[in-house]
Amino acid sequence: MEEKVNSLEELLKDSPTNWGRWGKDDEVGALNFLDRQEVLRGIKAVRQGKVFTLQVIIGSDKGDPVWPGRTSAIRINVNDKGYYLAGKNKPLYGGLEYADDIIIMFLQGTTQIDALGHTWYGDRIWNGYNAIETIGGLNKASVLPIAQRGIVGHGILIDVAWCKGVESLSAGEEITLNDLLSCAKKEGIEIQKHDILLIRTGWIAQFFKKGPAEFYKNFLEPGLTYRKELVEWFYKMEIPVLGTDTIANERTTHPETGIVLPLHAALMRNLGVIFNEILWLEDLAEDCRKDNQWDFLYVGAPLKINKATGAPINPVVIK
Ligand code: UVW
């Protein structure tokens, strides 16, 4: 009888890797594919002057969509008119008053970029660095080098929900490589090497529509999952960035083995693909359906936070 695969080591034993491809000190992985030619290719997609921002709002009245166990952002006013009225603060010389606030949040608690060292298995993070490097702050493969470089390239939207004729994919619904390719065909585009790949499932919009109680019930996100041919396709196509409107960019578990977030291992840790999660794609998708332009210039940079495991980002797309 065949034994059930129950570890990432076993599941990914023949999976490709980009470790060492950009030298032993690399910390930005597949972002290296986005060279000057790719920036110019992205700029060529700007044909109409339309601008879209892809971040979800932090601190909505429904809270923030986050991975279970994480909590919504807490934003607190620490100065405002009330402080002046209560005599707790005085106007500046000349009469100027001001409001101030602070925020306490998970750095992965909104639209964000994962550092390449964010997840690992077998005690090795991206490029083979020792997982010891994550203790107390990421000494290797933190989000900072990605933030310093910026992410600019030719992006495409694959609107899988629209291609399947639904408002949102259902819990646990898998997106296969064939779904991606046939949806691109329906949109009239061909996915090209080095494209920044944005996939719409309609899932995050359900958080804001239905609220957290319904959203987190039997939490099982839809999306891509580990399939040998899918990972080999990412490798061959040299996809630099994967972004989706889900919390974790992939089906929560691998259907056959139950292994959790296998693409964080196969794509992020092994191939160095940059993950842009919790995207707001509703407005962009609506526009793409109207004008039938599915490609664009993608521009974004996560916040420059030293040693961080990830950081918020508000990507800008220009068509
Ligand atoms: C986890 O790391 C669990 O998820 P994410 O990549 O969505 O932050």
Cβ of residue 108 lying under 6 Å from some atom of ligand 1:
yes
* Nearest partner of 284 among 244, 234, 242, judged by Cα: 244
Residue 237 has which token pair? 């196509």
pLDDT of residue 37: 98
**Atom nearest to 268 CA in ligand 1:** 6
pLDDT of residue 4: 86
Indicate the pTM of the whole model.
Answer: 0.97
**pLDDT by residue (tens digit) across 118-158?**
999 999 999 999 999 999 999 999 999 999 999 999 999 99
Q: With beta carbons less than 8 A apart as the criterion, state whether 224 and 250 touch.
A: yes
pLDDT of residue 206: 98
Ligand 1: centre distance to CA 263 (Å): 11
Domains, the chain, in order of start with CATH, read 8-68+108-318 (3.50.30.50), 74-104 (no CATH)
Residue nearest to atom 8 of ligand 1 (CA): 108
**pLDDT by residue (tens digit) across 51-77?**
999 999 999 999 999 999 999 999 999
Residue 66 has which token pair? 């986050």
Q: Is 16 exposed, middle or buried (0-12, 13-18, 19+ CB in 10 A)?
A: middle
Cβ of residue 233 lying under 6 Å from some atom of ligand 1:
no
Cβ of residue 66 lying under 6 Å from some atom of ligand 1:
no
- Pocket-testing residue among 261, 269, 275, 309, ligand 1, by greatest number of atoms within 8 A of Cβ: 261
Pairwise CA distance, residues 30 & 43, whole Å:
20
pLDDT lower than 70: segments of the chain: 1-2
